């Protein structure tokens, strides 16, 4: 396996793991089996549903599919948009948990890095 192939597999594994954890965490909260405090519904729903997109993107990366880059970029852009909506919610005095700020920051950084790495790795394919 080439170095590029190994890198794509690592990216794919990270994306898939991130997706599975997002679906589990969000699903538990939506089903009421986990109390997450002051939940912002749009963020909760986005993160849960985006977890499915993370898994699809991860599978595409794992397989070295060219479409994995635009999907990763779309996930990154959508995450930034939801983060901005969350920021507006906070600025208007809405209730929130500080861990949501950290989680959205982490998601933004991870998907920004995945999109950049996917572009580099898949550009020659």
pLDDT digits (tens, 9 = 90+) for 62-91: 999 999 999 999 999 999 999 999 999 999
Per-residue pLDDT averaged across 40-45, rounded?
A: 96
Length of the chain: 125
pLDDT in tens, 47-64: 999 999 999 999 999 999
**What is the pLDDT averaged over residues 106-121?**
96
CA distance 19 to 11: 12
Cβ–Cβ under 8 Å, residues 79 and 108: yes
State the alpha helices, DSSP H only, in 31-97.
Answer: 41-63, 68-91
Cα–Cα distances (Å) from 1 to 10, 25, 46, 62, in that order, read: 13, 34, 35, 12
Tokens representing residue 66 in the block: 């060219």
Distance of CA 92 to the CA centre of its chain: 25
Confidence of residue 125 (pLDDT cuts 50, 70, 90): low
Which among 73, 113, 82, 78 has a CA at the least distance from the CA of 100?
A: 82
Overall pTM > 0.75: yes
pLDDT at 103: 96
Find, among 98, 49, 103, the residue nearest to 78 by Cα. 49
**What average pLDDT does the chain have?**
94
- Residues 83-105 as b or e (16 or more Cβ within 10 Å = b): beebeebeeeeeebeeebeebbe
Q: Work out the percent of the chain whose per-residue pLDDT is above 90.
A: 86
pLDDT band for position 124 (cuts 50, 70, 90): low
């Amino acid at each position: 396996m080439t170095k590029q192939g190994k890198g794509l597999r690592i990216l794919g594994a990270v994306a898939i793991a991130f997706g599975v954890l997002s679906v589990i965490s969000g699903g538990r909260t939506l089903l009421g089996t986990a109390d997450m405090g002051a939940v912002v519904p749009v963020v909760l729903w986005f993160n849960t549903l985006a977890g499915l997109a993370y898994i699809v993107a991860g599978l595409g990366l794992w397989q070295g599919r060219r479409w994995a880059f635009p999907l990763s970029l779309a996930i990154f852009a959508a995450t930034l948009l939801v983060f901005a909506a969350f920021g507006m919610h906070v600025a208007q005095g809405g209730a929130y948990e500080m861990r949501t700020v950290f989680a959205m920051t982490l998601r933004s950084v991870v998907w920004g890095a995945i999109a950049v790495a996917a572009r580099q790795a898949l550009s020659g394919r």
